[in-house]
Amino acid sequence: MLEASEETIRPGRHQAQWGNGQDEPHKFQDADQDNAYLTELLSYSLDRLNKEPSLLLEDQSCIRRMMQDCAASHHSAFMEATKSLADVRDHMGSVNTHLRGMLEALPSLEEACASFSESSGQVVKRRQSHKQLQANHPQLLELLEVPQLMDTCVRNSNFDEALDLEAFVSKLAFLHPELKVVKGLHDEVKRISSAMRQQLLKRLSGSIQLPECLRIIGYLRRMSALTEPQLRLEFLRCREQWLAEQVSELDTQNPYDFLKKLTDIHRLHLFDIVMQHKAIFSDDTTANPEAHVAADAIILSSWAHHRVTQYLEALKAHLPRIKEGSSLSSVLEHSMYCGMSLGRVGLDFRPLLPPIFESCVANLFTMSLGNALDCFHAALEKHKWIAMPSVPSSIKRTSSKGSSAGSERSGAVPRDGDSEPSEDLSLAAGAHGAPTARGVCQRAAAGVQRAAALHPAGAAHARGAVAAGRAPGRVLRAVAHARDAGRRGVGAPGLRVCLLHHGRRRVPLHRFLLRAAVPRKLGHG
């Protein structure tokens, strides 16, 4: 090695090898250098070859001095290197121990890294969602304001805008069912939609016209909360509620005014409700005619039957309270007109009115006849009767002939009380001093003539009731009293003529008075 070093420091020798910066020659490089040196030796002369050993010794001594100088100048580095080498040898065991511990800790480190990766992934996702939330903050604010905006639209009756907002939120909930915010929005919108439906039904329970009804039903259909039959039932229920409120507001103290207003309400509003129902739900006839018949005909007819029944029950309850024939006639006229008007929509109930009014007409006639006969009886009691010198011969002959003919036909034997009155009995006060029989009966029938003109069956029913003897006992007693007064000759001339005519025909007096009071055309109906 020293010889090789001496060759390297000798001027001009091996500069190509050392000048290239190869500080650490390898085995192949040493072999090349040796070959080059041998080749160089072969080129020397004999003298040069003889000098070569001395030159090599000089180079060796020079290199040794250089090494000594380098060791002297860098002795501290050598000391430190030696010390470091000793330390490395001392700590090599602990390094091996720590290396084994690190190898044992690597699996747990790997697991910790995996868990950290997972947790960091969730954190990254949250961070991304927060970043997305921040980026879409204005749009989210608009979404969160949708329920409040919809509630404002409902309060201000902007139902079209409210339904558009509901459709938007429903579509959003269908597209993103997993988002809690969207679920909350959908639930809130459903609550507001339910309140809007109640508000629409409340409007439907008020006084509205057909265009408003069409709009409300259109809104309810857009909400899709009710099926078509349920929508029909809700419509009729709301209109029934409003109609019942109108009826409940009427004053029942005056039966005549109450029945007239009740009839007007049913004539106007019942007709309007039926027409509204047919106009609103008429579009179902072309789609499914059988379903239309089942839904419309049954539901609507049942409700209409209910309303007509309620009206007839009100007539039955309040007609007996009417005590005047003109008022009864006016109510009958209004009811007939109402039935005719409702007949345009298939609700003609006029055939149901005669049985109701017949009994009222009969009761009113019987009561009026009883009152008139009471007045007649009082007039007979208060009148001053006196005996006259003689009775006109014409009246006497007429009375005797009528009595004898009636006795022969009936086969009855005249009693003492039934004998013809003496001719010296008459009325001194004249015909104007006492009421006549026709006047009394006309007074009793005056209250029912108008009603009989509208529907003669009522008068016929009343006449049959009196003729059958169903008149009150005071009526029969008053007739008997008048008959006795006529036979005694103390009645008025007009009354006596009537009684004598009655005696010839042998007709019951109460029936004769009824015929005299009620015109023929009304009585026969």
Instruction: Tell which wins on pLDDT, 482 or 125.
Output: 125
Q: Is the confidence at residue 264, as pLDDT, over 90?
A: yes
Percentage of the chain surpassing pLDDT 90? 22
- Contact (CB, 8 A) for 281 and 232: yes
Structure tokens at 123: 């954190």
d(CA 229, CA 216): 16
Q: How many alpha carbons fall within 13 Å on the CB side of residue 295? A: 23
Q: Which has the minimum average pLDDT: 123-132, 143-152, 391-400, 510-519?
A: 510-519
User: Which of 40-44, 76-80, 287-291 has the lowest average pLDDT?
Assistant: 287-291
Q: What is the pLDDT of residue 207?
A: 87
To the question of pTM greater than 0.75 for the whole model, the response is no
**3-state percent helix, strand, coil for the chain, nearest multiple of 5:** 80, 0, 20
3-state secondary structure of 157: coil
Measured in degrees and rounded to the nearest 5, phi and psi for residue 116 equal -65, -40
pLDDT of residue 386: 66
Question: Is the model's pLDDT at 40 over the cut of 80?
Answer: yes
CA 320/CA 357 separation, integer angstroms? 9
Residues 197 and 238: their CA atoms lie apart, in Å, by 13
Highest mean pLDDT pick, 104-108, 389-393, 512-516: 104-108
Pseudo-torsion of CA 505, 506, 507, 512, nearest 10°?
60
Buried-state track 412-450, b at ≥16 Cβ within 10 A, e below 16 = eeeeeeeebbebebbbeeeeeebbbbebbbbbbbebbbb
How many alpha carbons lie under 13 Å from residue 440 in its C-beta half-sphere? 29
**What is the token pair recorded at 318?**
């309040």
Q: What is the mean pLDDT of residues 192-221?
A: 90
Residue 118 pLDDT level (bands cut at 50, 70, 90): confident
> pLDDT band at residue 258, thresholds of 50, 70 and 90?
very high
Mean pLDDT on 511-516:
44
Instruction: List pLDDT tens digits, range 228-257.
Output: 888 899 999 999 999 999 999 999 899 999
Length reported for the chain: 525
Q: Which of 23-27, 135-139, 423-427 has the highest mean pLDDT?
A: 135-139
| Contact (CB, 8 A) for 185 and 140 | no
Which token pair is 110?
């790997």
Closest CA to 437 of 490, 505, 499: 499
As given in the structure block, the two tokens for residue 269 are: 């509003």
3-state secondary structure 390-445: CCCHHHHHHHHHHHHHHHHHHCCCCCCCCCCCCCCECCCCCHHHCCCHHHHHHHHH
Q: What is the number of alpha carbons within 13 Å of residue 331 lying toward its C-beta?
A: 32
Give the C-alpha separation, 383 to 381, whole Å.
Answer: 6
Helices 180-204, 159-175: inter-axial angle, 10-degree rounding: 150
Identify the bridge partners of residue 425 per DSSP, sorted by sequence position. Answer: 387
pLDDT at residue 315 tops 50: yes
Residue found by looking up tokens 């015109």 in the block: 519
Q: With beta carbons less than 8 A apart as the criterion, state whether 10 and 55 touch.
A: yes
Tokens of residue 253, six digits: 């103290």
Q: How high is the mean pLDDT of the chain?
A: 73
pLDDT in tens, 348-387: 999 999 888 888 888 888 887 888 788 877 877 787 766 5
Of 53-67, 207-221, 270-284, 466-480, the least confident: 466-480
Nearest residue to 422 via CA among 499, 490, 482: 490
Residues 474-484: tens digit of each pLDDT: 444 544 554 55
- In this predicted structure, what is the pLDDT of residue 381? 79
> For 6-30, how does the pLDDT look when each residue is reduced to its tens digit (9 = 90+)?
444 444 444 434 344 444 545 667 7
Residue partners of 241: CB distance under 8 A and separation at least 6? 205
Mean pLDDT of 204-208: 88
What are the backbone angles phi and psi of residue 277, rounded to the nearest 5°? Answer: -60, -45
Banded pLDDT at 73 (limits 50, 70, 90): confident
Helix (H, G, I), strand (E, B) or coil at 379: helix
As a whole-number percent, the residues of the chain with pLDDT over 70 amount to 65
Q: What is the pLDDT at residue 135? A: 86
Among 269, 453, 264, CA closest to 357: 453
